[in-house]
Chains A and B, each alone.
Chain A
Amino acid sequence: MTDQMDVPELADEETRLLPADQTLRALLEGFPDARWSLSAGQDVVHLPSERLREFAETARAGGFELLSDVTAVDWTSRRPRFDVVVSLLSMRHRLRLRLIVGADAEVQSLVPVWPGANYAEREVYDMFGIVFVDHPDLTRILMPDDWEGFPLRKDFAVGSVPVQFKASHRVT
């Protein structure tokens, strides 16, 4: 299982890679441990998970009005196991930004910053089992309440049933 992309490593004295765009540069100034890179031509920032909420608040103040999406990816044998992927959209600057945060079991919730993250985080919890700290109502949203297991994890089988021909039966 290859890692999804080559994230540039930070050397101690070297200046790190910075985006050309001024808004993004300004955003990254307060976060020396954030690593920016380009993924298929799109801006991606890798963050340590403790700084997620802070970065989100700074981004929101810096012009990213809309939270586009919150989702996760299960990299089974890697530590941290999951990647939580947050897509942001700035309408006034016409920019998109993707934040990728590694998480094992818990991650900070973005609901205090954008209430629209509510359902998306519930879905990530439901599908992956990642707990969002400070989420107002972290319960299952897509699966029944008493469902066991987290379906989108790689160790959860697809659950396919072998196709068989059923004998026709009379219905009264």
Chain B
Amino acid sequence: MTEAREEVDLWISGTEEPDWVLSSTDEGAQEIQQEESEFRLREQLGSVVTDDYVFDDEISDDERMIVNMGPQHPSTHGVLRLQIELEGEIVRRTKPVIGYLHTGMEKTGEDLTFMQGPTNVTRMDYLAPFHNELAYSLAVERLLGIEVPPRAQTIRVLLTELNRISSHLVALATNGMDIGALSIMTYGFRDREQILAFYERTTGLRMNHNFIRPGGTAADLPPGWRADVKAIVDNIRARVVDYDDMLRDNPIWNGRTRGVGVITAEECLAYSITGPTLRSTGVEWDLRKAFPYSGIEQFSFEVPIGSQGDVYDRYRVRIEEMLQSARIVEQAAEAMPKGDYRSDDRKVTPPPRMRLDESMEALIHHFKIFTEGFRVPPGETYEAVEGPRGELGCYIVSTGEGNPYRVHVRAPSFYNLQGLPIMMADSLVADTIATIASLDPVMGDVDR
């Protein structure tokens, strides 16, 4: 008798909804009620947007439906929740709801020393960890007023450009998989494995490396790195061209990406959208060319731009950027200068371990740097690098302690996401996934 009851209990378990869940998943729905937010949305979008974005005046109650997508959904772009107002199959308005991955990294950053800082920021945009670390390190170095030796700068360029390739491979893989080209997912991750193996040999980890630190890098490149880098560059050059050949003239790919998710240059500038999305609209803006950092101006490369601002152009921009990054990596490997991989300012850089046995001063410096952290003079600064998604900046305020007083990261995906309602307006539901995938948001970056 008791067994039968247990059996029945098992069958019905999991279908009841706890009360407290309803209140939290309804949040945001209030804001999209037509009477209030229509006016707000129009005001919000009316100031700088061009005339071709027309807001529909007739809103008939029985035709529009609000559908919730996420935060757990098949599109592999993380915990993004969208509230989509549909009129039949056409998307009218969208409200992204974020915060499902908020980790309080900026608060944690205030408790970590400047040397530990990169471990924190590297997990924000987790597909481009080197770029996060680089922005943070550049900001700290500017406050410290120290120069990083040329070898360290070139190592940084090598790693960040490889990171751009690996990030764009994921973007391409997930973009393809979301649209239905399932094999590109396997191909993208296969080539990424080669790059991740190189990272593991160099930094010790496949992801979230904490390798680019204020003062230089954590260690030198491993022996045999030239052969590895050459193998990667050759592989990327051959394979990326193959993927492009596979997709570029494919009628299904063209049908699903051309004219989909269109955004104009004025809208991008109004909404602070940078990166491949901005470049796909025809604006040639790349921080590597405009405000060069870490010695990247000595390498020659081109900045690919699109024209239509649709999903297809963003895909093409990313493919070309991968090939240009391969160029930079090749040049960096060839031009790698000899020297130190980190600044020799003893107040910032820990001494080499073997000196700890010999010199009292080295021991003291080592102790102070690793326990208290090195002190950074008071000041505030903002440094930005060109991440795979756009302008990735770090704003640091220091009050002379070993910890920063305030760390803020300007996350490119956070601002890029504001373009999503514009791209999705008046398009079909089926284009939603393609649009999100082409925007390539990384929710760790958005929510921090």
Report if A and B touch in the complex (beta carbons < 8 A).
yes
In Å, the complex CA distance between A51 and B216 comes to: 41
**Which A residue's beta carbon lies closest to that of B379?**
A40
Residue in contact with B397 in the complex, picked from A73, A117, A123, CB distance below 8 Å = A73
In Å, the complex CA distance between A65 and B49 comes to: 13
* In the complex, chain A residues whose CB is within 8 Å of the CB of B391: 68, 89
* In the complex, chain B residues whose CB is within 8 Å of the CB of A120: 272, 414-415
Is the CB of A151 closer than 8 A to any CB of chain B? yes
* In the complex, chain B residues whose CB is within 8 Å of the CB of A142: 98-99, 102, 447-448
B143:A115 contact, CB within 8 angstroms: no
**Which B residue's beta carbon lies closest to that of A40?**
B381
A69:B395 contact, CB within 8 angstroms: yes
In Å, the complex CA distance between A108 and B71 comes to: 32
B378:A114 contact, CB within 8 angstroms: no
Segment from A11-19, A90-98, A163-171 that makes contact with B: A90-98
B98:A141 contact, CB within 8 angstroms: yes
A4:B111 contact, CB within 8 angstroms: no
Chain A interface bracket (under 10, 10 to 19, 20 to 34, 35 or more): 35 or more
A94:B290 contact, CB within 8 angstroms: yes
In Å, the complex CA distance between A73 and B270 comes to: 25
In Å, the complex CA distance between A158 and B107 comes to: 7
A116:B273 contact, CB within 8 angstroms: yes
Is the CB of A47 closer than 8 A to any CB of chain B? no
How far in angstroms is the closest Cβ of chain A from B81?
Answer: 12
Chain B interface bracket (under 10, 10 to 19, 20 to 34, 35 or more): 35 or more
**Which B residue's beta carbon lies closest to that of A111?**
B44
* In the complex, chain A residues whose CB is within 8 Å of the CB of B290: 91, 94
**Which B residue's beta carbon lies closest to that of A65?**
B269
Per-position contact with A for B27-38: 1 when CB-CB < 8 Å, else 0?
Answer: 110010000010
B41:A136 contact, CB within 8 angstroms: yes
* In the complex, chain A residues whose CB is within 8 Å of the CB of B40: 136-137
Residue in contact with B44 in the complex, picked from A69, A136, A159, CB distance below 8 Å = A136
Given contacts A2-B378, A40-B379, A143-B99, contact A151 B107 (CB under 8 A): yes
Is the CB of A144 closer than 8 A to any CB of chain B? yes
For window 235-285 of B, CB contacts with A under 8 Å fall at 269-274, 283, 285
Chain A interfacial positions (CB closer than 8 Å to B) = 1-2, 4-5, 39-42, 44, 65-69, 71, 73-74, 85, 87, 89, 91, 94, 96, 98, 111-120, 123, 127, 136-137, 139-146, 151-152, 158-159
A-B pairs with beta carbons under 8 Å apart, 8 shown = A4-B397, A5-B379, A68-B382, A89-B391, A114-B272, A115-B49, A116-B271, A116-B273
10 new A-B contacts, CB < 8 A, other than A5-B379, A96-B382, A119-B415, are A39-B379, A40-B143, A71-B408, A73-B406, A87-B382, A87-B393, A113-B47, A114-B271, A115-B271, A144-B99
The 10 tightest CB contacts between A and B, nearest first, are A116-B272, A116-B271, A136-B40, A142-B99, A69-B410, A142-B102, A145-B27, A40-B381, A136-B44, A71-B408
